[in-house]
Amino acid sequence: MIENTLYLKALAGQSVPRPPVWMMRQAGRYLPSYLELQKKYDFFTRCETPELVAEITCLPIDEIGPDAAILFSDILVIPRALGWHIEMKPGVGPVLDNPITSKEQALAVTKADALEKLQYVMQGIRATNERLNGRVPLIGFSGAPWTLLCYMIEGRGSKDFAAAKAFCYEHPEAADHLLSVLADVIIDYLNAQIEAGVHAVQVFDSWAGLLGPDDFNLFCMPHLKRITEEVKGAPVVLFAKGAWYALERLAWRTSAAAISIDWTVSPEYARKATRREATLQGNYDPSRLLSPVPVIRNQVKRMIDRFGKDRYIVNLGHGILPNIPVDHARAFVDAVKSYETS
């Protein structure tokens, strides 16, 4: 039994006294308690050790008090399960060895035993739920096919993922095969997370905004739609960062329970584009958490006023930054919690 059900009620479209609040990447690098664990264990050890996953996932619940926990993991666990070696390099980010450079490489990718190799995630979910003890819902997640393809072809992060885009234009059949295999793995993976005990799942298409509307329809939309239709047993939230032009399509042509938006979209536009009938999540600029605490409080109240308290989940427009003071993150959460009496 979940004690705090605000998040789940918002996803279901039910009226709430105030909107729920959580923050993307809330279990991570801005918390001193997390940084201590970072000194002791490398990144993928933290992701693959159930006890560490549970501890890290619960840190913000204990210290900040959001209305939902998001599992500590990474979107790149799927490429790892497909056989790519990934190194997290300081100051660089993830680096994948042997990026895909030919259509033959792409066509050779199969889902094989990927889900079996991801069972440590399910163990982490069970350990986390035991530690949460029903205080708040637990959110699972995955990267989206397009975003994972970008990393698998580019081999690392990029401002434009030009190599990945060029590959898709030059080898459309191979790109479609790779996207379809990734969608297969993601569906299996998210369904396994739900079976293991998460209460909702979110799909992160972090690089969707690099595409124009036509290419979004080609490389993202069919797979996101399929994922929302074939993942069963829990609500699915879609976050196509930067793809403001696709809000209506995502809300009405997929089976998503909610659409998450970044800070480049106004509440008024988002509500209009989704016909004021979809649950929305977001869209506070993470950098704004560097503002003075009184400013954060005022901005959060105004944001909720503009979205409305129902069918809305307060969140950042992307992950919390590592240089955000913990007191400012707490002020963000507390501002939402005090909304019902403000």
Query: Which residues make up each annotated binding site for substrate?
Result: 25-29, 44, 74, 151, 206, 318
One-letter amino acid of 19 = P
CA angle 191–194–199, rounded 5-degree value: 140
Q: What gap in Å lies between CA 315 and CA 13, rounded to an integer?
A: 17
C-alpha 105/C-alpha 99 separation (Å) is 9
Sign of CA dihedral 257, 263, 264, 270: positive
Q: Helix, strand, or coil here: 200?
A: strand
Q: Which residues define the annotated binding site?
A: 25-29, 44, 74, 151, 206, 318
Q: Which of 334, 50, 20 is nearest to 199 (CA)?
A: 20
Distance CA 176, CA 213 (A): 17
Query: What CA–CA distance (Å, rounded) separates 332 from 320?
Result: 11
> Distance between CA 202 and CA 150 in Å, rounded?
19
Tokens of 223: 């797979």
d(CA 71, CA 57): 6
Is residue 170 a contact partner of residue 176, using CB atoms and an 8 Å limit? no
Alpha helices in the chain (DSSP H): 6-11, 32-40, 43-48, 50-63, 77-81, 103-107, 114-117, 119-132, 145-154, 162-170, 172-196, 213-219, 221-230, 247-252, 267-273, 293-307, 326-337
Alpha helices in 135-171 (DSSP H): 145-154, 162-170
Tokens 């944001």 belong to residue: 303
